[in-house]
């Protein structure tokens, strides 16, 4: 990839954030409906997370195998495709072609690719958390080294997660290419990827203070922000237009 001029970090993030909020507000009714659908798809996954965090007895061993299986099933096969569907709708909204049923079209269109990528992502996160939880109880230099490596890998996946869904929806990539390109983008834009991931996490936490925002506004805004951030990120490279990558396949699906 040949690099072009870089935009300042703050300008890149602020442009993506402001543009995403404006797009969501301009199509508020459609955004609220699709956001509600997204929220319903996320409920089983977050119930699993909350059940782990609210374990009644801290001395009881954590059933990591059960957690990994359930998290992969609910996250990879339900929550992940819903994220891809929101990004698909955000792209159509920008082109003024979005309809109510586009969420279901995007969910179906990217289901298997997204399920494969996000299931592996959730599985890796759970395995790293299990490794950290076990390593924290054992006092050994080798175990401490394993703990540090697991923490580093967890942070890297946290940063890399920003690029997974845009690479699935906005470009024609296979399972292997999604992971390879996401890793390369993260390595080449580490600081920016980290700040973006922290910003979106902070926005989600702040939105939780008003649950109605999480249900009816945040999912659509996050999709628009992700779309703008990814396009700004790729503008540094000599890449083909991502928004037109699936034009022909969109027509066949509809």
Which tokens sit at 63?
């059933």
User: What pTM, to 2 d.p., does this model score?
Assistant: 0.83
Backbone angles phi, psi at 101, to 5 degrees: -80, -5
Per-residue pLDDT of the chain (254 residues; tens, 9 = 90+): 445 445 566 777 888 888 899 999 888 899 999 999 999 988 888 787 777 666 656 666 667 777 778 878 888 889 999 999 999 999 999 887 788 899 999 999 999 999 999 999 999 998 898 888 888 888 788 888 888 999 999 999 999 999 999 999 999 999 999 999 999 999 999 999 999 999 999 998 888 888 888 888 999 999 999 999 999 888 878 654 454 445 444 444 44
Q: Which pLDDT belongs to residue 52? A: 67
Q: How far, in Å, CA of 225 to CA of 247, rounded? A: 21
Q: Which pLDDT belongs to residue 238? A: 61
- Whether 200 and 214 have beta carbons less than 8 Å apart is answered as no
Q: How far, in Å, CA of 76 to CA of 123, rounded? A: 9
Q: How far, in Å, CA of 217 to CA of 214, rounded? A: 6
């Amino acid at each position: 990839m040949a690099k072009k001029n870089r935009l300042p970090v703050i300008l890149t993030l602020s442009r993506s954030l402001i543009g995403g909020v404006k797009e969501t507000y301009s199509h508020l009714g459609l955004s609220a409906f699709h956001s509600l659908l997204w929220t319903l798809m996320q409920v089983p996954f977050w119930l699993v997370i909350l059940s782990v965090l609210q374990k009644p007895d801290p001395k009881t061993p954590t059933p990591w195998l059960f957690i990994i299986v359930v998290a992969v099933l609910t996250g990879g096969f339900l929550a992940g495709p819903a994220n891809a569907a929101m990004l698909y709708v955000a792209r159509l909204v920008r082109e003024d072609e979005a309809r109510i049923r586009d969420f279901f079209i995007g969910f179906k269109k990217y289901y298997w690719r997204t399920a494969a990528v996000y299931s592996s992502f959730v599985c890796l996160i759970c395995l790293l958390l299990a490794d950290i939880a076990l390593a924290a109880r054992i006092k050994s230099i080798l175990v401490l080294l394993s703990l540090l490596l697991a923490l580093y890998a967890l942070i890297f996946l946290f940063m890399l997660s920003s690029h997974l869904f845009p690479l699935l929806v906005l470009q024609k990539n296979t399972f292997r290419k999604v992971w390879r390109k996401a890793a390369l983008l993260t390595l080449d834009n580490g600081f920016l990827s980290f700040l973006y991931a922290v910003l979106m996490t902070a926005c989600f936490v702040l939105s939780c203070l008003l649950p109605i925002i999480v249900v009816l506004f945040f999912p659509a805004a996050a999709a628009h922000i992700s779309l703008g951030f990814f396009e700004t990120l790729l503008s540094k490279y000599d890449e083909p237009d991502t928004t037109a990558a699936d034009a022909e396949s969109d027509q066949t699906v509809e």
